[in-house]
Chains A and B, each alone.
Chain A
Amino acid sequence: MLAGNEAYSPTDFDLLQTTLLSTSTASVTFNSLNSYSAYKHLQIRMSTRGDTNWGGTTYLRMNSDTGTNYSRHHIGGYGSLVNGGNASATFIALPFTVADSAESASQAFGASVVDIYDFASTSNNTTVRSFGGTRRTPPDSSAGVEIRSGAWLNTTAVTSLTISGSSGLFLSGSRFSLYGIKG
């Protein structure tokens, strides 16, 4: 170690890619995930706000698969209401994105953490766990805090991840960061 330099302490949790939107965008894709063979798991941390056409649901898809090849479940708290749900679907649903509307605080963004374990496995389906939420003023049934699960019912290794909405655009300032976790 050179005098004056701090010791380098390697970590096993590394930033791989970040997309910070400078214009409104319908979807964000992390590609070439097969190049991250040093990592066992992936994590997405995202801060998102949708435009006035935002459809209310945030989608996650693997390898551009738009077929009915996903399952999803959730538990949520929405102020005075709690509930759970399930669906067989064409996507995995992620926690809320703040929609741009009169009820949304100016410049407020939804926050979510999404864990994708064993993304390179060719023997397991891919299970996703996510946690996140939003707040509105006043709160309503389309804002709250959620734990969501989802599975891509395919044992192919995940090589790309695409995040989009049921309709509408992610607004400028939305950020999507992909991290690798060694294991």
Chain B
Amino acid sequence: MTLVSTVTLSTETFQFEWTNIPQTGKDLLIVASARINTTGPTEAEVKPNGVQTNLSWRGLRGTGSAVASSNNTNYSNMSYAQIIPGTEATSNTFGNFQIYIPNYTSSAAKSMSFDGVGENNATAAQQGITAWLWNNTAAITSLAVLCAAGNMVVNSSASLYIIS
């Protein structure tokens, strides 16, 4: 597993982005820690090659008191679990998640897996796993991970790794 680069936010923004991803690996792994600057929690999204079309998902989440499953083709809530806490959550508390993308250079559709957790010293905090499909045969050469609401705060970070 080889680190490509880490993005650590020094100003608030809505995404982590990597361009010119080396095409030398088999799989990609993103490891991220994030919190938003508005009332949350909110979901994580992915944008491969600069587009958010042909994305679909099926997910499982817990809210701290209940469990639910759903599926959709709407990219704006594709992590399903709202694992990025906001101003409603305990101060200085971040969610963490990872995204695994096997065969990112292949000419087949791209299946991805997501798992993540938020935290909050209260009843409500979410955890979840989600299966994603990007029904596109292009190799992934750029990738962005976004928050579905607000901006991510300073010290939010994400690292991209190649697995050979």
Give chain A's interface residues, CB within 8 Å of chain B. 9-13, 40-41, 71, 73-75, 82-86, 88, 115, 117-118, 121, 123-125, 127, 129, 131, 147-151, 153, 155, 181-183
Contact = CB atoms under 8 A, between A and B. Distances in A.
A40 B161 CA distance: 13
A178 B123 CA distance: 30
Interface in B66-96: 66-67, 90-96
Contacts of B120: 71, 151
Which secondary structure dominates chain A's binding surface?
strand
16 contacts: A40-B6, A75-B128, A84-B63, A84-B65, A85-B64, A88-B121, A117-B33, A117-B94, A123-B92, A125-B94, A125-B119, A129-B115, A147-B62, A147-B129, A153-B90, A181-B159
B107 interface: no
A181 B117 contact: no
Nearest to A118: B33
Contacts of A147: 62, 115, 117, 127-129
Given A124-B92, A125-B91, A149-B117, 4 more contacts: A71-B120, A73-B62, A75-B60, A127-B93
A9 B97 CA distance: 27
A129 B128 CA distance: 10
A9 B90 CA distance: 41
A82 B161 CA distance: 33
B6 A183 contact: yes
Nearest to A131: B115
A12 B161 contact: yes
A156 B21 CA distance: 35
Interface in B94-153: 94-98, 115-129
Contacts of B13: none
B31 interface: yes
Nearest to A86: B64
Given A84-B63, A147-B128, A183-B3, A117 B122 contact: no
A153 B91 CA distance: 9
Contacts of A155: 92
A149 B123 CA distance: 12
Nearest to A14: B1
Contacts of B56: none
Contacts of B65: 84-86
- Choose among A82, A83, A124, A182 the residue with the greatest number of B CB atoms under 10 Å from its CB: A124
Given A84-B64, A129-B96, A149-B119, A13 B127 contact: no
A134 to B, nearest CB: 18
B3 A151 contact: no
Given A12-B2, A127-B93, A86 B123 contact: yes
Contacts of A82: 67
A74 B62 contact: yes
Contacts of A83: 67
A84 B67 contact: yes
Given A13-B1, A125-B93, A75 B119 contact: no
Give 3 closest A-B pairs by Cβ, nearest first: A75-B62, A149-B117, A84-B62
